[in-house]
Amino acid sequence: MIRMWVLLFIFFCHVFESSQTQAPAPLCRCQHQYSPVCGDDGKTYKSECKAKCAGVNIKCKNKCPCPDDGCNCPTKYRPVCCYNGKTYYNECKAKCAGVKIKCKSKCPCPDDGCHCPLIYHPVCGGDGNTYDNNCVAKCAGVQVKCKNKCPCEDVCSCSKELSPVCGVDGKTYDNKCIAKCNGVRFKCKRKCPCNVCACPPVFAPVCGDYGQTYDNACEAVCAGVTPKCKGKCPCSKCACEKTYRPVCGDDGKTYDNRCAAKCYGVDVKCNRKCPCKSCHCNKRYRPVCGRDGTTYSNRCNARCARVKVKCFGQCPCGGHGCRCPYWKRPVCGDDGKTYVNACFAKCKGKTAVRCKGKCPCFH
């Protein structure tokens, strides 16, 4: 009896010991997502989670074998930041690791706080890639080479003149042309570094003799540039008065006065700020000359343009006290020109009537 109890005790001790040593492995719960990785055991796993569950370290993020098994990359150091948050020695090393590149600089990427407009103005970066706009290139840490799609056309033929300028990138260029060809705006008209001037925070823009706009004359002089004209570049070739008599051009823009509109090669649509009010005038031709020196087809059209009538008939106005009726009875003067009627021929053209009707006369 005692022997039986001893055997039962030994049996239960053995069962308890085996239950402690052969505990079931913890269950691994992974998402059903197929993103293959290659483990250091040379096997392909469906995802990182599956590899970790198998207690295997990840060698690369794609199917086995890994690309870096036969990768011969250049030793040039051009760091890139990838979506895994790691910095790689160059683009080749990142591709060999099977990782997608986020930006061409060290991590973190500048675009982590970048909000660029959705405007398509393609630029070519110094890395030979085309970017949607200047902002996107800047966010990728790439310098713009030219403002169009890659490749850039080598249209730069700069002289060998030594007139050094300092670019905004902190580099010295032999002259302004070479800086421009490299897609760099110059900061000052001398070798780097530029002088630090204590200029007032006043915005009174001036255009320098190098065709660049400065916030005020002090900043232009500080950069070693002579102010060419007041206002933003380019300088206007016209010398207009600063009188503010707004006019609306036929391009839909408001100009300070008629002279300013003329300087931009724009015809004046009406003597007020844009938009012009739509007038409904008849098509009857009874010309009047406005005080602005323009001939209008009739008085209504002059009024619509907010121009006072100086005299009746086409510009220029004739002698003082000359008032002619609106009768449309064309005559041909001795000067070979057609006038609305005999009164206009005498008053404006100061010529005798050769025949009734439009020129030329047929006798």
Q: Dump pLDDT digits (tens) for 1-33.
A: 666 676 677 766 665 565 554 444 456 778 777
**Average pLDDT value over all residues in the chain:** 78
Q: What pLDDT score was predicted for residue 1?
A: 61
Q: Are 222 and 188 in contact (CB under 8 A)?
A: yes
Topology of domain 37-103, per CATH? Wheat Germ Agglutinin (Isolectin 2); domain 1 (3.30.60)
82 three-class SS = strand
Question: What count of other Cβ atoms lies within 10 Å of the Cβ of residue 39?
Answer: 21
Q: What pLDDT score was predicted for residue 321?
A: 53
Scan for tokens 């070739």, then name that residue. 237
Q: Dump pLDDT digits (tens) for 162-217.
A: 888 888 777 888 888 888 777 777 778 888 888 777 788 888 888 887 777 888 88
Which one-letter amino acid corresponds to residue 292?
Answer: D
Copy the structure tokens of residue 256: 């300070």
With 0-12 / 13-18 / 19 or more C-beta atoms within 10 angstroms meaning exposed / middle / buried, residue 294 is middle
End-to-end CA distance of the chain: 161
Q: Dump pLDDT digits (tens) for 110-127.
A: 655 666 777 788 888 877
Q: What pLDDT score was predicted for residue 181?
A: 78
Measure the CA–CA gap between 358 and 363, rounded to whole angstroms.
13
Q: Dump pLDDT digits (tens) for 207-257.
A: 887 777 888 888 888 888 888 777 788 776 677 777 888 888 887 888 888
Residue bearing the bigger pLDDT, 21 or 303: 303
Q: What pLDDT score was predicted for residue 154?
A: 60
Q: Are 158 and 179 in contact (CB under 8 A)?
A: no
Copy the structure tokens of residue 173: 């260029």
To the nearest 10°, the Cα dihedral for 244, 245, 249, 255? 0
Q: What residues contact residue 133 under an 8 Å CB cut-off, 6+ apart? A: 116, 117, 119, 120, 121, 122, 123
Q: What pLDDT score was predicted for residue 23?
A: 44
Backbone phi, then psi, for 198, in 5-degree steps? -95, 80
C-alpha distances in Å from residue 302, one per residue of 201, 228, 279, 292, 299:
46, 39, 10, 10, 5
Measure the CA–CA gap between 196 and 190, rounded to whole angstroms.
13
Domain ranges of the chain: 37-103, 327-362
Which one-letter amino acid corresponds to residue 263?
Answer: C
Is the whole-model pTM more than 0.75? no
C-alpha distances in Å from residue 321, one per residue of 268, 318, 324, 325:
29, 9, 10, 13
52-59 CB contacts, 8 Å cutoff, 24+ apart: 52/28, 53/28
* pLDDT at residue 277 greater than cutoff 50: yes
Domain 327-362 part of CATH 1.10.3470: no
